[in-house]
Amino acid sequence: MNVKNTKTDEGFFPTGVLFVCHGNICRSTMAESVLTDLVNRRGLLEKFRISSAATHPDELGNPPHYGTREKLRQEGIPLVPHRARLLTRADGEAYDHIIGMDEENLRHMKRILGPSQEGKISLLLDYTDHPRAIADPWYTGNFDATYNDVKEGCEAFLNCLQREGKLR
């Protein structure tokens, strides 16, 4: 998958990454924390701007779901301070990569962001060898499976940036 970056005066960073799911309290906040931890461990945190948002207003202002917080704690990954917020059209201009978790997210992302931003939109597991949706643990209750998928997707996304020479 081709990964695009917005060029700045300093080169091709910081890379803006926005994770998106339905309510912005489970999958997207987990991905935000996981990717932040991965880039921090690689010494690349200053080269990224990472956030997350929702496609629906159901959970606006709420903190991450208890299951997300607990799973990240079990894995030793710091939770990024967060309150659920709604994806906006302006996010299309502000981020280089807008990454959803499932096909429903993708449909709503395209509707909210408009056709001019479609090149920035993808699904997290599209970067892996086995593209698929990440099940919503709000419904499944399985935060372990969600974490495994999110970690696989975030690692694959970073590997894609590296293969394309966009990680320094």
- How far apart, in whole angstroms, are the C-alpha atoms of residue 114 and residue 136? 25
Residue 27 annotated in active site: yes
Q: What's the Cα-to-Cα distance from 3 to each of 7, 86, 93, 111, 137, rounded to whole Å?
A: 13, 24, 16, 21, 28
Residue from 21, 26, 96, 102 carrying the catalytic annotation: 21
Residue 136 annotated in active site: yes
Residue from 91, 96, 102, 136 carrying the catalytic annotation: 136
Residue 9 annotated in active site: no
Q: Is 28 helix (H, G, I), strand (E, B) or coil?
A: helix
52: which strand partners?
19
Place of tokens 């931003």: 117
Which secondary structure element, helix H or strand E, spans residue 50, and what is its range? strand 48-54
User: What residues are annotated to the active site?
Assistant: 21, 27, 136
